[in-house]
Structure 1
Amino acid sequence: MEIYMENLLSFLKEKNIEYICNEPMKNHTTFKVGGNAEFFVKVKSVDELSALIKFITENNIPYFILGKGSNLLVSDEGIKGVVIILDGDFEKVEVNEETITAGAGASLTKMCRTALDNSLSGLEFAYGIPGSVGGAVFMNAGAYGGEMKDCIVSVDYITPSGEIGTYSLDDLQLGYRTSIFKSNKNIVVGCTVSLNKADKEDIKEKMTDLLGRRKSKQPIEYPSAGSTFKRPVGNFAGTLIESCGLKGYTVGGAQVSEKHAGFVINIGNATSKDINTLIEDVQKIVKEKTGYFLETEVIRL
């Protein structure tokens, strides 16, 4: 056993932090692929996370913060170091008049339902996006004309040294599927959004409509990571892929969805290598035939 593993085990036991060794990542990603995480750790409070991040930074231990695993392709070889899940307090969602504050570990769907329950409009676009609040901030998640940046007021974070801070909207550098968190090492721990009072039935109707559109147009019956590619300037990834005759293109257990060409799906026992090879094939063919290079929206570990 490497020395850092022994030190980490001692730390986790001393702090009574929940962990599992060699946890299969395929159980924690929506693609249902990926090798084992060396350490799979659940932290349940800001204090636990702060102490853990400080320890692993000081000891140069690699780590990754995992949300709901919905925008992620993990290598078949797995992940060295620590995968951290934000649990407990990080799953809380609280309402204060026309604002909602949610922990980074809460599901985006839970945040949306809380908005509906309190007749608050502004998050309808996010209903059905299968990610965490932290992941939604990290990626500036968006759909159907809305983005997180349209409603975010502030975001709480922890630095690699364990210090706690808050960004205002202007600090976040939110753009198309990006944020300041992509260029620094800070970790999202919570988010506050500002919404508007509206008729509850109108909000529900819009949510139901958007969820219906997702189900009718997207291959949600198969494991995937959502939209695989970013939207290229002046075009759409799915349109370009379909125009190249790649709907149904298959590598092993991975396939370009016949329902929506912008989605790569796991049609059965795909490996991460299958999916990665398919993505690279699509990028190469689309580039050759159309001149567009499709950047991945999916984060590859």
Structure 2
Amino acid sequence: MNKYNNYVNLFTTFYSDEDVKIDEKLSQYVNFKVGGPADILVTPRNKEQIVKTVTICKENNIPFYVIGNGSNLLVKDGGFRGVVISLTKVSNITVDGERIEAECGAMLKQVSDKAVENSLTGFEFACGIPGTVGGAVFMNAGAYNGEMSQIIESANVIDENGEVITLTNEELELGYRSSIVMKKGYVVLSATFKLEKGTIKSIKDLVDDLTGKRESKQPLEYPSAGSTFKRPEGYFAGKLIQDAGLKGCSIGGAAVSEKHSGFVINKGGATAKDILDLIHHIQDEVKRQFGVELHTEVRIIGEDL
């Protein structure tokens, strides 16, 4: 049942009709391809609309959740009560010398391509991460021994008071899959990355190499949210899951990938409940067999049916 339908007129005053949707299925917006509807889904076209939307939600005590590409998100089958803000249209990228400024909805692949075009090195590790700049800052995304903390200079965010502030690298408190943005519920508007000059050939060769590794080792042919679990200290989640005999294990349409045990995939027709049940089964088995607790890297929102 739509709990916030009566609030939709607060947004239609400054959004076009096509950018405000009621009871919109979130399965269309997340890589897992599962999930129930959002009461209201808005798609801002600029940073000003984001700020205004967040302000309205805060002033009216409307729950809201910000999504980018939905690559690290699982929405439960009952959907989300409140407003979901999809940032993918706020995606401008500008280059100034050795700095790249990218808005929150820009895909990391787009930023990587822009770095290659301008002979800038340092962003290669992120070329295959299927997320947006906002999400990458939020969780200090990383791959292949690189992470956002190594290259980000500053970020513009909406703080808990609805104010737009600029945070330096240090103020962002970027740790393993964490940041001050995550801890305090800030909303990222844009980020500035400080890179270094290199040669296009060497940068492109590294991007191609990392892309090849990703394609050969990850189950990209299936819907998933990437690495399902955070890396436990002293272990690798995928190896623990494989050693527990769970490779290929399935519940309903959800399965542990045969290609990479760190990935839970939607092999076809999965529900969010299937995926959550499998995640819990994996956690229970790894804890029972090895005494190690696995914590999800994927974000889980919404309510059950």
TM-score class normalised by the smaller sequence: over 0.9
Where structure 1 has 5 or more consecutive residues not aligned to the other structure, the ranges are: none
Distance in 2, matches of 1:119 and 1:34, equals 40
Distance in 1, matches of 2:295 and 2:247, equals 18
Amino acid of the structure 2 residue aligned with 1:13 = T
C-alpha spacing 1:38/1:2, structure 2 compared with 1 (3 Å)? closer
Aligned 8 A contact 1:25 1:35 in 2: yes
Distance in 1, matches of 2:204 and 2:2, equals 53
Aligned 8 A contact 1:53 1:160 in 2: no
Distance in 1, matches of 2:57 and 2:241, equals 42
Distance in 2, matches of 1:3 and 1:228, equals 31
Aligned 8 A contact 1:4 1:59 in 2: no
Following superposition, the deviation at residue 163 of structure 1 comes to: 1.7
Amino acid of the structure 2 residue aligned with 1:241 = I
Distance in 1, matches of 2:267 and 2:120, equals 38
Distance in 2, matches of 1:199 and 1:229, equals 36
C-alpha spacing 1:259/1:16, structure 2 compared with 1 (3 Å)? closer
C-alpha spacing 1:4/1:270, structure 2 compared with 1 (3 Å)? closer
For residue 147 of structure 1, what is the aligned residue in structure 2? 147
Aligned 8 A contact 1:238 1:262 in 2: yes
State the SS of the aligned residue for 2:125: helix
For residue 49 of structure 1, what is the aligned residue in structure 2? 50
For residue 15 of structure 2, what is the aligned residue in structure 1? 16
Q: Which deviations, in whole Å up to 9, do the C-alpha atoms of 1:187-235 show, x marking residues without a partner?
A: 0000000001101011101001001001111101100000001111111
Q: Which deviations, in whole Å up to 9, do the C-alpha atoms of 1:162-193 show, x marking residues without a partner?
A: 32110000101101101001111220000000
Distance in 1, matches of 2:272 and 2:15, equals 33
Where structure 2 has 5 or more consecutive residues not aligned to the other structure, the ranges are: none
Distance in 2, matches of 1:124 and 1:186, equals 27
State the SS of the aligned residue for 2:189: strand
Distance in 1, matches of 2:244 and 2:237, equals 11
Pair 1:220 & 2:220 matched:
yes
Distance in 2, matches of 1:197 and 1:37, equals 44
Counterparts in 2 of 1:94-243, with a 5 A limit?
A: 94-243=94-243
For residue 26 of structure 1, what is the aligned residue in structure 2? 27
Distance in 2, matches of 1:141 and 1:45, equals 24
For residue 75 of structure 1, what is the aligned residue in structure 2? 76
State the SS of the aligned residue for 2:48: helix
Following superposition, the deviation at residue 86 of structure 1 comes to: 1.8
Aligned 8 A contact 2:126 2:143 in 1: yes
For residue 39 of structure 2, what is the aligned residue in structure 1? 38
For residue 257 of structure 2, what is the aligned residue in structure 1? 257
State the SS of the aligned residue for 2:82: strand
Pair 1:267 & 2:251 matched:
no
Distance in 2, matches of 1:32 and 1:291, equals 32
Distance in 1, matches of 2:59 and 2:128, equals 38
For residue 282 of structure 1, what is the aligned residue in structure 2? 282
Following superposition, the deviation at residue 2 of structure 1 comes to: 7.5
TM-score (structure 2 length as normaliser): 0.95
Following superposition, the deviation at residue 34 of structure 1 comes to: 0.4
Amino acid of the structure 2 residue aligned with 1:67 = G
Amino acid of the structure 2 residue aligned with 1:82 = V
State the SS of the aligned residue for 2:170: helix
State the SS of the aligned residue for 1:91: coil
Distance in 2, matches of 1:2 and 1:194, equals 44
How many aligned residue pairs are there?
A: 299
State the SS of the aligned residue for 2:220: coil
| CA RMSD after TM alignment | 1.3
Q: How high is the sequence identity, in percent, across the aligned residues?
A: 47
Amino acid of the structure 2 residue aligned with 1:163 = E
For residue 5 of structure 1, what is the aligned residue in structure 2? 5
Distance in 1, matches of 2:23 and 2:95, equals 38
TM-score (structure 1 length as normaliser): 0.97
